[in-house]
Structure 1
């Protein structure tokens, strides 16, 4: 009995895992420096550090050997090897995690290579049949054990890097908290009263617009540069949308004239965002009006050098079926790695809570990671979805419910 191998099917060892982890160690702590002060004041350092690490650091692989199953099939043998067919056994091992890790090389490599294939959720090992079941089981057990060893070595490197990154992030957060505390003490010592209007009560239209500088990330599958918004800018944009939306909620009579339909909503949203943000070069960055992109036209779009960094859609709730179509529409646009997106869902129904929970369930059925818990689930919910173009490309999606009542 022998394990069936092809040179092109070797797993693990292709990419340097430590190089990727070193990049995370270098870049991730910067998220602590960019954390909005309001969020820093509202949550503990430990909670914020866990959130930053989960957002920016690779998650370990979860190999489900208990869910292992096998299928047999026939393959054609080349004429130079005698021709005909042989029966092979494909052993499937389910896993959860980033597929690229199955092609990575940890610092402590196991004793031997592994040959097989990967899908989005399984490792597939192939064996020739024809001898005793005992010998076949021995071969399978040996290869499965080897896969476990590689995964354990990879997860060990990730665990070490995660601990290092979390320690630095906690230190950065503590430093920022101290500086903010010192600044607060200084303001308290002044005779001039200083008051900040709560975000829920005011809508900011700044004198100087905030610059948006998309960050370049690794080349995409098509070999093109990809761009993404920093998490800080993404949070600012979503917060601006939320405040505008809640201003409409508080003033239903005025809102009726502003939001008669989705095109008008789109125009108002783009007006608000253009009033708050610009490209670092000073040029307009948000596209006003519908922008042709992918399979349709987006409502809100941030682009940089022809690549998308943020996509937003304004939708009225018209039932579960239509909302699922809206999600498909959003995913059908040409989005790329780490693209940030938002659905602004306007609800006119009396039972708004039930609508929000139904919309939440629609998105959860598609998400590939646990949803981020929110202190205010009626205000905002966050999800991570896989791009339909590449399962390894993640989309951060915010659901922003807006309840628009009809004035009496």
Structure 2
């Protein structure tokens, strides 16, 4: 069996099992082709599976949703009804509410879809307290290598994190990291030869625009949306001024905001809000957007392993590397011990923290460096932020991720870490 055909266990599996044991409805959302259907089929072998991609099944569900769902539930009363591509039927939510209100058994329905159809106020209220929503992202590097979920965030949030707790990372070089960025995290696409892979990723975007967008919201100008997607790929890891983007795309600002919301709901882009300490009035409040999958972003930009060489576009690596790290951290968040949130921070005088993880009374400030060496000067913003800036008074750990191979301590709770520490094991005992 080659890697393309091999099923890779997902770190979200325990969370999905817990959700089924505690909620009447479990809603699993995420981009198409990341493995949602494979995951639920593997996990719930006894469940009753139906897909609304089947036109006949969808028509029957739309005609009599409560009757169809009741019949499916009664066929296997001790197993979940699994409904794939649930966003295709907006009538599902109220029908499910009626059924689970009559029968309070946990784990009655598992819904999967490329977008979360249960986001309107009416629908959200109807299923409040009855449903738990989880998101399945593209593969992490840990999952690809069949390693445990990264616990690096929990490690950094300790009172006194120490480098001996972090296993020696894989000795990867700049080319290895570029390969990971270009491959992306889509199970059936990432291992294809480079040219075929990039063509498949571009076709994937066309399929999303043609099929999935309409499930979220009707779009009058699909070509403008496609243009916006290309722009977001080129601007990954940047603060986005929607007024400027609207002028470039020849759209109203409200339309650009609407389109960005669609892309977020389809898990194509993710937004890091600007972190606000509360007392400061000079911090920049503009959000930073990241393209969720660096493989797709690279394909849309026609980037290959030679694109980052001197004389081509070496500066393009920085943004993609930062988005790659955000993706690895974001996908590990649900499996950490505490509830953490990702932000970015920048002051009006251009001091900047690429990624800021807020754990309440603790902060982890992260800088990303697309070089194989690190120097004390790379920590100047981290140290100022912790000692004299908005992080003063909070327990703040500073991390610089770089493309070298040595774990280094830089004093005062600051560390330089090879990028591959994001998928190495951590001893928290």
TM, length-normalised to structure 2 = 0.25
Q: TM-score, normalised by structure 1?
A: 0.26
Larger RCO, structures 1/2 (Cα 8 Å, 6+ apart): 2
Larger Rg: 1
